[in-house]
Amino acid sequence: MVSMKLLQQLAKKHGTPLLVVDHDEIRRNYATFRKYLPRVQAYFAVKALSEPAVVQTLFQAGASFDVASMPEFRIVHEFIRDMPAKERQDWIWDKIIYAHPIKADATLRELNPYKPLVTYDNHEEIRKIAKHAPQAGLVLRLKVLNTGAMVELSSKFGAAPGEAVDLILEADRAGLVVEGLSFHVGSQTTNFDNFVQAINLAANVFEEARARGYTKMNLLDIGGGFPAPYDKSVKPFRELARKINAELDRLFPPEIQILAEPGRFMVATAATAVSTIIGMAVRDGKLCYYIDDGVYHTFSGILFDHCTYHFGAFRKGRTEICTVFGPTCDALDVVSMSENLPANLERGDLLYSRNIGAYSIASSTCFNGFPPAKVVHVNQK
């Protein structure tokens, strides 16, 4: 964990708002993932923290990558630019999945020469891929239960189990190769049974596909959703891993390759936001601090990720429940209505917020003309 002293030094050097990303913690998270899920290749979901430096650290650690847009694809592709063409080709297959079930025609055309692995979940997408990216390998995304996830995704994506094999056979008839199945149990899933049920459902679809004559599937992608330890209610990762391993070993023979797309798990605990108090007021008897970062910026996860963050102060003092507002003119820019902070903080004092690496700076805007926080990387190799 980056010490408070270092946070203060970095804030002094770079100013605020600041996001400090600790690469030792990213490497630790990746190692934990690999240790407890040894059969699963981690494709880091770049969208969670799309900093090239983060991709580089995970690349060096041995990770593969889940991208969902061409800019994300290019961040990862940058690392292999100089490889010979043949190696580059293999690398893309092993290292990148384009895991967005709905892709624009132009995106497919741009992807096609790379012979990518792409997800799909509907008839229209098969027609599009057959026309614009016939060299792609396909992964059918299944709709699975997202119950108890902080962010549900199943209303937007995923083929119903009953239509899954029809969609596989239709892609086959269109001349495409379906390599396997994927699902996403919802982000920050603390209900571990979602994974168990989804793996069982995928096994049923594999079985039905085989029974109906389709035998080319060789991979299962168990998606993202691995929870970050934001608080003590999140059970240890090894418990989730134990359940996943048991189901994978029971239902999928060793020759089936297992992938996952962890985003939050790799980076949530790796970043700390540091902001400055720029104003203070007492409204309806409650102390309000105004800081130079907010929900349009590093704290965007409050809106887009249904996440809550907590603050710490560098100055000690008697605490009371305060409101923390962001810097923009919008009344929506409320970072917290109930933070227990020292009441004696002054303009210019710093606040910090830990565990804010996932879906934070990645969805920051420039609303009201305020630029995103500066990102500083520590413990890079």
Ligand X SMILES: Cc1ncc(COP(=O)(O)O)c(C=O)c1O
Burial class (CB in 10 A: 0-12, 13-18, 19+), 358: buried
Please check whether residue 331 is in contact with residue 288, taking contact to mean a CB–CB distance below 8 angstroms.
no
Nearer to ligand X, 224 or 327 (CB): 224
Nearest distance in Å: CB 119, ligand X: 7
DSSP string, 40-63: EEEEEEGGGS--HHHHHHHHHHT-
Ramachandran category for residue 164: left, alpha or beta (phi over 0 → left; psi -120 to 50 → alpha): alpha
Alpha-carbon span 160 to 144, nearest angstrom: 8
Which of 45, 248, 273, 351 is close enough to bind ligand X by CB under 6 A? 45
- Count of residues making up the chain: 381
Q: Does 326 bind ligand X (CB under 6 A)?
A: no
What is the pattern of x (binds ligand X, CB under 6 A) and - over residues 7-36?
------------------------------
Alpha-carbon span 143 to 261, nearest angstrom: 16
CA 68 to chain centre: 11
Q: Does 271 bind ligand X (CB under 6 A)?
A: no
Which residue number has the CB closest to ligand X? 224
Residues 117-176 that bind ligand X (CB under 6 A): 153
Nearest distance in Å: CB 221, ligand X: 9
Residues 75-104 that bind ligand X (CB under 6 A): 99
Nearest distance in Å: CB 227, ligand X: 8
Which of 116, 137, 224, 327 is close enough to bind ligand X by CB under 6 A? 224
Nearer to ligand X, 139 or 345 (CB): 139
Q: Does 226 bind ligand X (CB under 6 A)?
A: yes
3-class state of residue 102 by DSSP: coil
Catalytic residues: 329
- Contacts with ligand X by CB under 6 A lie at 45, 48, 66, 99, 153, 184, 187, 223-226, 261-265
